[in-house]
Amino acid sequence: MNKHIRYSDEVRKALLADKPVVALESTIIAHGMPYPQNIAMARQVEAIVRECGATPATIAVLNGEICVGCDDDTLEYLGKGGRDIPKAGKRDLPYLVFQRKDGATTVGATAWIAAKCGIPVFATGGIGGVHREAEKTFDISNDLEVLSECDVAVVSAGAKAILDLGRTLEYLETKGVEVIGYRTDHFPAFYTAKSPHRVNHRLDTPEEIARHLLVKSELGIKGGVLIANPIPAELEIKSEEIEGKITEALLAAKKENVTGKALTPYLLFKIKELTTGRSLDANIVLVYNNAYLAATIAVALKENQKRA
């Protein structure tokens, strides 16, 4: 056990008993949604994971400790603190621990911590990626680099729709990160179930994905896997509608000179405003959808490991 990592009793018991655990990020709570929807979402995601037979491990940095598993008071604190709580990428962890500060872990930081703790499955909303106009700004999320380094399967609804999806997939290809489409041949676009871009491989059941992950481990192939799980089609926002809102939000961000870590939260909140809340509703649904799939994969993976 690392001296800088504190496990909740629930997560510690599950890990020691070799039970399935699903990692969950905290940036989505503090920066991805407004209060109080963020708290309701976080609690429901944990409930979904438990109902599927796995243990949720929401990860955050609190007073300089990396917490793997958060109690209800901590979820409330993260939700109310919102954007006053710093986003914590992998590079920020030493500083936050040393300075005894708080941090809401990004996809990249959460994946790194999950891998270090032996948690092989992680559920989120959408990963970061290559931003639009990255050829000018060089704005590429560290999520992609960390995914290439960590042996974690990340379940998401693709990458956030505000990004350049084609270039994000090219970057993942360069880094050797396999993209598996769950019941789809096409990479989902967060609010939209299908983009023009194709995934590397398609698998149609959690059991198939679990067996695939086990074989990858047995072969000794390092690095992460991105499991692309489309938002249910009946709840998606069609691409022609959401693209217009994204363009409008990007123009507003440019006008207000919003860049760096502040850009993604700004765009998500702006798009919520422009869609009169429909984007937030879609975001919440896709997170629930991902939590369910991640938990069923985690359970199937443990069953397969015991039979191997």
| 160-196 pLDDT tens trace | 888 999 999 999 999 999 999 999 999 999 999 999 9
Query: Distance (Å, rounded) from C-alpha 27 to C-alpha 164?
Result: 21
What is the pLDDT at residue 1? 54
Q: Is the peptide bond before 36 cis (omega within 30 degrees of 0)?
A: yes
Give the 3-state secondary structure percentages of the chain, helix then strand then coil, rounded to 5. 50, 20, 30
The residues carrying an active-site annotation are 25, 160
* For range 197-221, the mean pLDDT: 97
Amino acid in position 263: L
Task: Give the largest CA-CA distance in the chain.
Answer: 57
Rg (the chain; Cα; Å): 18
| 67-102 pLDDT tens trace | 999 999 999 999 999 999 999 999 999 999 999 999
Query: Distance (Å, rounded) from C-alpha 214 to C-alpha 217?
Result: 5
| 115-147 pLDDT tens trace | 999 999 999 999 999 998 888 888 899 999 999
Write the CA distances from 143 to 23, 56, 64, 106, 294, integer angstroms: 15, 21, 22, 8, 18
| pLDDT surpassing 80 at residue 261 | no
| pLDDT surpassing 60 at residue 224 | yes
- pTM beyond cutoff 0.85: yes
